[in-house]
Structure 1
Amino acid sequence: MELRTLRYFVAVAEELHFGRAATRLHMSQPPLSRAIKQLEADVGALLFTRSPVGVTLTAVGTVLLDEARALLDHADNVRVRVSAAAGVATITVGILGDGADPGMTRLAAAYRRRHPGIDIRIRHTDLTDPTCGLRAGLVDVALTRAPFDETALTVRALRTDPVGAVLRADDPLARRDRLRLVDLSDRRWFQFPQGTDPIWQSYWNGGRPRAGPAVRAVQECLQAVLWNGTVGLAPLGHDLPAELVVVPLVDMAPSRAVAAWNESDTNPLIRSFIELATAAYRH
C-alpha cells in the first residue's frame, strides 16, 4: 500500500463522500475513485458501502482507518526525524491564485534572510481550495484570503483590502465611481465547482446565491468577464488587462489576506513564518 493511497482513503473515510474528499485533496473525483477501488482490490474486501448520498465504512474499512492513520503518523514522524538528522529542514507554503501580492514578495525576502538553510517549497493552488491544501496535508502554511471554513485551523489576519466589481471597460457600469451589490443583482456571477467551501463561495457571490459560469482560476474569472460580461470580484489594487476595470463596491465586506495553518502543528518554522508575514504585509 502506498502512503499516498492511504491518504486518499483516510480523506474519503473522514468525509464519507468522494466529491468532498476530492475537493479536500485538491484533485478530481475519477482518479480518487480508481485509487480506492485499487486499494479494495489489494485488500481483497470492500472498504466502503456506496450510496447516492455518500459512503459508509465497512467493518474492514473501520479497521483499515485506524491502521492507516497510525501508519501515516509514523511516516510523518520518520520524515521529521530523518530531516533533522540530515540537517535539512523544509517548509511548504501554499499560495492562492497568482501570488503577485507585494507583501508576499517582502515576506519571501525576509524569510530567506532569517532562514538561509531552509528548503522552502511553494505550491500554487486555484480558487477551489482557499486553504491551499492544508486539510489534505499538502502544505504547512497557506497564504490565502478569508472567509472560509476555519475548523481545526489557526488563521492570522495580515491585511484587509477593499473589493470591487471587475467589469469590461465598455460596460455602462464601468463609468461609475462606486457601486452597490444591488446594482449587479441582474448580472451573472462566476461560480466555483460543486463541493467548494460554501463560506468561500458565498463571499465571492456577495452573500447570496447567484448564477453563472464555473471557474477555477483567476484567469478564468477574467476571461469570463471579457467573453461573457460575467461579474467578477477582486481586491482593489490588482493589475488587470486594459480591457477590464474594477469599480469599488461600497457595501461589500473587505477581503482579508490571511495566513493559515493546522492548529495542531507546532513546527517552529511556521511560527517564524507567521511572525515575518505579519510584518511584511503591514508595510
Structure 2
Amino acid sequence: MYISRKLVNGVYSYSLNQSYFDPPYWKTKVLLNLGTNPREYVHYYSDVAFSILVEEDLKKLGVQTDQFELEEVFYPFLTQDAQRWVDFSLNRKPIKRATTRFSPSEVHFFDRRRLIALRLDHREPWRVEEKFFPFYRELIEKSRDEIENYLWNFEDKLNYREKVRYLYAIFGLNYTPTQEDQDKLFIQRLCEIASDEAYRMGLSEDEVIKYYLCRYVWLYFDVIPIRRVPSFYLKMEESIYKEVAYVLNVSLETLYSLSKKEILKLFREKIKIYHPDLGGDREKFIRIRKVMEAFLKIRF
C-alpha cells in the first residue's frame, strides 16, 4: 500500500492505493479516499504515541494490514516527534518484502535514471543507468502511480539547488549551448517519455503528463530561472574532469560512475602521497587540492 496524490484544481487530493498485477502491467486501485489532508487519519495519544485510523476500514475491504505497515505508509504525514519515535523505537519491526531476482532492464530507464540521481546525487545518471544497483529493487512490482509517488516523495526532500541539479541530470540538460536548445531538448525528451508505452504502463499520454510529468514542466518553466551555459564553461568543465581522472588514475567512464563518497576516498588516498608534512611535493599537493575543489563544485 501507499498514499497517492494528484493535483486537482490546484489542491492535492490523496488516496490510499494498492498496486496489483494485471498482465502485462502493474496497475493501481484506490482503497480509501483520504481527502486533502491524510493527517486527519492519525490519532495522537501523546507526542509520540499514535494510531492510524484506517485499519478497520481496510479489513472490511479484505485488506490485511497492521499498524507497523500503516506507520510506514503514513510516515510523511506524522509529526517530527512521531517520526523520530518510528525511526528509533526498539519495538519497531521492519517490513520485509520478498522479491525475485530481476534485471535492470525490468525497470524503465527514466525510473532508473531518477533513482540514481536521487540515491547517488549523480549529475549524469544516464552514463551508468545500464549498471545494476541494488536500490532498483525499490521500483519492482509497482504500478506507474506507485513509482511516481515513491520518487515524488524523495524529490520533495530536495532543496531548491538540488532540484535544479536533479532536473538537469534526469533530462540530460547540462551541456546544451543555448537556452533555446535547452528548452527544445527538455520538451523533446519529456514528450518521448510520455509517448513510451513501457513508461506509461497502460495509461494514456494525457494521464502521465497531467498527473506525473507536469511537475517537471512546472519546475522547469516556472521555478528555475533562465540560465545559459557558455561554451567556454563547458570546455573548462571537461578539462577539469580529465585532470581529475588523471590524478585519481581512473578512466573518465569510471569517474562518471563513482559516487561522491567513492571519489573522496580516492582523493584522500592520493593527497597523502603529496602532503608536504609527509615529504611530498607541496606544489602538486596544492594543485591537486584546487582541482578537486573545483571538481566537487561542478559535480556535486
TM-score by length of 2: 0.27
Higher relative contact order (CA 8 A, sep 6+): 1
Higher strand share: 1
